[in-house]
Amino acid sequence: MRIIQVHSYDDLSRDAADMVMLQISRKPWSLCVFPTGQTPRGLFCELVHAHHTGLADFSRVRFVSLDEYAGIAHDDRRCLSLWLGRELLQPLGISEDRIYTFDAASTDPGAESARIEKVIADCGGIDLAIVGLGPNGHVGFNEPGSAFDCRTRLVALARESIRSNTAYWGSEADVPRFAFTLGLGTLLDSRTLILMASGSHKAGILSRMIKGPVTPAVPATVLRLHPEGIVIADREAMSFCHYR
Ligand code: GLP
């Protein structure tokens, strides 16, 4: 696993955008995964700027969801695919036929998860997956205890994830209890896997991820098993690692 420490959140966003742009210049039809949350917002702005200024061509890029709440309507304000659509996919002009998302309202989670795995296989696998770091070490919604070889599936959100997700929706009662997520095994199969972390509130869990034992108790440690695993983090997030 490669660790890239940058100075600030802006540097993190720019460097991650450079990695995405390098990927799509090498393979314009890349299948990409992006997370939601606060961390990638700057990255999204950089990519949208690159699109508008002609620095990057997203016209053939394909996208598959990392995760999605389950048991909510398609037009629910909490739909993560709507969030990504608004902040990234529509501004980049990615057409619907190149966007593969979970059906949040699916009543057959097993079939829905299998459908997404098949979409990925039919696309030739994920080229680039960018993920965030949950406060409990989750990746996507792979909560502590998730096996490193687990595949796409429906999960129950951990208490800590429900609590941290209130930042997006208001109160704990507003946070759905179940979600779809690409599995850790599914993400491990990606050709490149990048984790972004920013801020001092991520310092503790990031240091466990980088320096602690590789264990399903900290799902993000799966990156250490990936031959092209990259952590890109700002100085505040790295402050417990004393790296460099
Ligand atoms: C959320 C999402 C993740 C996200 C992570 C970190 O619960 N399921 O995909 O990457 O937590 O979010 P943030 O960037 O807001 O800290």
Which of 39, 101, 187 should be mutated for ligand 1, with most atoms under 8 A from CB?
39
Catalytic hit among 68, 112, 138, 165: 138
Q: What is the 3-state secondary structure (H, E, C) of 81-116?
A: HHHHHHHHHCCCCCCHHHEECCCCCCCCHHHHHHHH
pLDDT at 244 over 60: no
Residue 219 has pLDDT above 60, yes or no: yes
User: Does 181 sit in the ligand 1 pocket, CB within 6 Å?
Assistant: no
DSSP state of 199: S
Active site residue 103: no
Beta strands 178-181 and 229-234 are unpaired
Domains (range + CATH), the chain: 2-234 (3.40.50.1360)
Query: Tens of pLDDT along 144-153?
Result: 999 999 999 9
pLDDT per position as a tens digit, 131-143: 999 999 999 999 9
Q: Across the beta sheet with 178-181, what order do the strands follow?
A: 67-69, 178-181, 153-156
CB 208 within 8 A of CB 136: no
**Predicted TM-score (pTM) of this structure:** 0.97
Mean pLDDT, residues 210-231 taken together: 97
Tell me what percent of the chain is helix, strand and coil, each rounded to the nearest 5: 40, 15, 45
pLDDT at 208 over 90: yes
Question: What ranges in 95-231 are assigned the alpha helix state H?
Answer: 109-122, 159-169, 184-188, 203-211
Residue 42 contacts residue 10 (beta carbons within 8 Å)? yes
